Amino acid sequence: MSHVTFVRHGQANNSARDEEGYDKLSDLGWKQSRWLGEHFGQMNEVFARVYTGTLRRHVETTEGINANSPEAVIQDERLNELQYFTMATLFEAQHGEPLPNGREEFAAHLPKMFRAWQEGAIDGVPESFQHFEKRVNDVVREIGAGKGRALVVTSGGVIGMALRVTMSLDLKNFCHACLSIQNTSVHRMQPMPTGMALVQFNATPHLETTERQFAQTHL
Ligand SMILES: O=C(O)[C@H](O)COP(=O)(O)O
């Protein structure tokens, strides 16, 4: 059956404070990606199509997974992440909210910043909330309408937005989805006559054994 499998990239450089510094896999990120690829191999997963964003962390994760597909990987900028660090720096300068450190601070920061972003209350953002929402909606619809199983390697914000546009999530639940999504987690949507349906969320079958649980990461 045709479906679309979304994967968030492996752990990136989580000590960085800007877009460029963050954008490469850590050693663990490479491991997570290779383990997911091995898992797909054990499940005899064959993807008719493989898509990735153009960010380094997306491309490296795709390389680590090395999915079984007869077609060359398609890079699509619409699968790139919103620029969190850039916006958080503007948000701090304009609204006094400091850049978050660690998961707990990130969980409090993200909903505040996304609310301000949606309301157009952060000047000079690289992309409006509405533009991000539209490009994710467009690319998800396009991939969903294609033939055969698709693998899509992308980011947490893009997967969260894909859920928002297919399941009409409000801002709070969109933020909760973004915050839940783990590195190299697997999410699956199935095209139905009435639209895309979520059939799997945030699965990490390749990281479930006791020896690998240390590798279940959000950041
Ligand atoms: O919105 C988010 O959750 C952050 O921007 C994380 O992005 P990433 O999935 O590219 O790490």
The complex's ipTM?
Answer: 0.92
Of the chain, the percentage scoring pLDDT greater than 90 comes to 94
pLDDT of residue 1: 63
Q: How far is CA 212 from the centre of its chain?
A: 21
Pocket test for ligand 1, best of 6, 59, 80, 81 (most atoms within 8 A of CB): 81
pLDDT digits (tens, 9 = 90+) for 184-203: 999 999 999 999 999 999 99
Binned at pLDDT 50, 70 and 90, residue 169 comes out as very high
- The verdict on pTM exceeding 0.90 is yes
Binned at pLDDT 50, 70 and 90, residue 2 comes out as confident
Helices (H), the chain: 19-22, 27-42, 56-65, 84-95, 102-118, 129-145, 156-167, 171-180
**C-alpha separations of 99 from 95, 119, 181, 195 in Å:** 11, 19, 20, 37
Binned at pLDDT 50, 70 and 90, residue 111 comes out as very high
Q: How far is the CA of 193 from the centre of ligand 1 (A)?
A: 31
Q: What is the DSSP letter of 181?
A: P
- Examine the pLDDT at 70 and tell me if it is beyond 90: yes
Atom 5, ligand 1: residue with shortest CA distance: 84
Rounded Cα distance, 42 and 170, in Å: 37
Rounded Cα distance, 96 and 132, in Å: 24
| Mean pLDDT across the chain | 97
Ligand 1 binding residues, C-beta < 6 A: 8, 12, 81-82, 84, 155-157, 178
- Examine the pLDDT at 30 and tell me if it is beyond 70: yes
Q: What domains are defined for the chain?
A: 4-77+148-156+178-202 (3.40.50.1240)
Pocket test for ligand 1, best of 99, 113, 155 (most atoms within 8 A of CB): 155
Q: How far is the CA of 85 from the centre of ligand 1 (A)?
A: 10
pLDDT of residue 102: 87
